[in-house]
Amino acid sequence: MTFHDDEDTERANLYRLLSGLFLSEPTEDFLIQFRDIFGITITNTIDEITIDFMQLFSDAAGHLLPYESLYNYPLLDTPRLWGQATEEVQKLYHAQGLMIDEEIDIIPDHISAELLFMGHLIENDITELKNSFFENHIRVWVPDYCREIQQFAQTDFYIQAAGLLKEFISSDSEEFGLEENIE
């Protein structure tokens, strides 16, 4: 039996909520929940946020596709979908008995899948893998990705949300005892 403290449960839930930023177009309920939990003011309409989502993250039209293999790849390799990072995270999911690509119908290194996996690792107190996954995957590319979102987003909502995710990752870097600060 696994025991959790309230802080771990809250962190796991925050990872899950943050994963929703990139999984699908936000609903009004999601925006209300996000606003209430993070205490942000949403000045954009749902239509403006939906258009921004499509222009940023949609596989068909998005400028910032949310896949680790486009940001984290070996030195002599090129950024591409289904790259080395995809294979690595897929093996980690399968080792935990998770089939994210089958359950959610996204490529395994999609930011939403990785954030959901972090929530799973925290919730199930899988400390060694949690630390390794965070250091070798989440921390390697998500802060840079958030900076790009802040640069290209057309809505205050996504600019704020990317800043919150970047701060959350920075906070967890400190929590995990990683020395370099994420700017």
The per-residue pLDDT for range 14-23, each reduced to its tens digit, is 999 999 999 8
Q: How far apart are CA 107 and CA 86, in angstroms?
A: 7
Strand partners, 40: none
1 pLDDT more than 50? no
pLDDT band at 3 (very low <50, low <70, confident <90, very high): very low
- Per-residue model confidence as pLDDT tens digits over 104-115: 678 899 999 999
Answer yes or no: pTM beyond 0.85: yes
* CATH architecture, range 6-175: Orthogonal Bundle (1.10)
Angstrom distance (rounded) from CA 136 to CA 139: 7
CB 47 within 8 A of CB 40: no
Q: Where are the domains of the chain?
A: 6-175
